[in-house]
């Protein structure tokens, strides 16, 4: 093989290695669609998946309440951004324990997000209730998971993050305990979430997942309340809310076997040229 040919192969291998080193957005939820609103229309219950109204051109209908494209039940919960957006295997949902909350029912709404039009919000929390993201990382490694979360002054104060890679049979702890920022103006220039305001990174938590999440057909991450929501006197507060936004799953594309071989050849060529 000529030197020029060797150099060309080395260049291709180097490009493949560089591409593999850059993290990609596998899938994410920006909550681009409003939830049903109005008396008798707001969804309630123990479980809810974020709705998604997809137009024929692949765009999202921001507010199906006003007419036009309606919610597509088959798309509910699916990622709206990323390499695997709209694919099966992705689901963003919330689960609550209504039986332990008396006559109160959990309501699911879409108030302003963190610098975006909508977020995923719910009330009537009890310790053990959670937001859950289910996703597929097939073809990717080095997985990270990021989310924005905030709460009302009477929302659950202490939370944890846990992960399962066996269909929810068992969970490992990713973050044992954290305190979401209350959604109001606080010291240090941090403000409440606003659809017209700038994105505020102070509300973002990013976690690197273990190798068990690499190249997996199903990963489940739960953002779970550890305590009941209470008011200033310590009394249970059914109206206490929490909301999440910008849930993102990133990873590094695993090189195809041919690309991996080129990377190995690049190393051989590099050693030969130094000799």
What's the rounded Cα separation, in Å, for the pair 249 and 76? 18
Report the DSSP beta bridge partners of residue 163.
172, 221
Fold of 24-255: Jelly Rolls (2.60.120)
Which pLDDT does position 190 carry in this prediction?
83
Q: Are strands 140-151 and 181-182 parallel, antiparallel or unpaired?
A: parallel
Which pLDDT does position 187 carry in this prediction?
66
DSSP string, 60-119: B-S-GGGSSSPP-GGGTT--SBSTTTT-TT-EEEEE--GGGGTT---BEE----SSSS--
Which pLDDT does position 137 carry in this prediction?
98
Half-sphere exposure at residue 186, Cβ-oriented, CA atoms within 13 angstroms: 14
What's the rounded Cα separation, in Å, for the pair 88 and 167? 15
User: Residues 6 or more apart from 154 whose CB is under 8 A from it?
Assistant: 229, 230, 231, 237, 239, 240
pTM of the predicted model as reported, rounded to 2 decimal places: 0.85
* Per-residue model confidence as pLDDT tens for the chain (275 residues): 443 433 433 343 343 334 444 689 999 999 999 999 999 999 999 999 999 999 888 899 999 988 778 899 999 999 999 999 999 999 999 999 976 666 788 999 999 999 999 999 999 999 999 999 999 999 999 999 999 999 999 999 999 999 999 999 999 999 999 999 999 877 677 889 999 989 999 999 999 999 999 999 999 999 999 999 999 999 999 999 999 999 999 999 999 876 554 445 455 545 555 55
3-state DSSP assignment of residue 186? coil
Which pLDDT does position 184 carry in this prediction?
84
Tokens representing 247 are: 């849930």
How long a stretch of residues is the chain?
275
* Residue 134 φ/ψ, nearest 5 degrees: -115, 130
The full set of domain ranges for the chain reads 24-255
* Residue 208 φ/ψ, nearest 5 degrees: -90, 125
Strand (E) or helix (H) holding 269: helix 257-274
What's the rounded Cα separation, in Å, for the pair 63 and 28? 20
Which pLDDT does position 275 carry in this prediction?
56
């Amino acid at each position: 093989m000529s030197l020029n040919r060797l150099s060309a192969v080395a260049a291709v291998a180097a490009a493949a290695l560089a591409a593999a080193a850059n993290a990609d957005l596998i899938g994410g939820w920006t909550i681009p669609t409003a939830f049903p609103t109005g008396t008798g229309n707001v969804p309630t219950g123990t479980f809810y998946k974020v709705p998604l109204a997809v137009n024929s051109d692949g765009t999202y209908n921001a507010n199906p309440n006003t007419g036009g494209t309606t919610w597509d039940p088959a798309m509910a919960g699916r990622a709206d951004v990323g390499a695997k957006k709209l694919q099966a295997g992705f689901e963003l949902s919330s689960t609550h324990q209504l039986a332990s909350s008396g006559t109160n029912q959990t309501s699911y709404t879409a108030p302003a997000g963190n610098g975006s039009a909508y977020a995923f919000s719910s009330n009537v929390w009890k310790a053990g209730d959670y937001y859950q993201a289910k996703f597929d990382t097939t073809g990717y490694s080095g997985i990270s998971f990021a989310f924005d979360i905030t709460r009302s002054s009477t929302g659950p104060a202490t939370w944890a993050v846990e992960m399962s890679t066996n269909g929810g049979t068992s969970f490992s702890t990713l973050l044992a305990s954290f305190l979401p920022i209350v959604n109001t103006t606080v010291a240090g220039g941090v403000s409440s979430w606003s659809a017209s305001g700038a994105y505020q990174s102070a509300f973002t938590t990013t976690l690197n997942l273990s190798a068990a999440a690499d190249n997996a057909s199903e990963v489940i991450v739960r953002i779970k309340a550890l305590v009941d929501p209470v008011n200033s006197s310590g009394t249970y507060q059914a109206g206490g809310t929490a909301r999440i936004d910008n849930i993102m799953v990133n990873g590094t594309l695993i090189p195809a076997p041919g690309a991996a071989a080129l990377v190995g050849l690049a190393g051989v060529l590099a050693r030969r040229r130094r000799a």
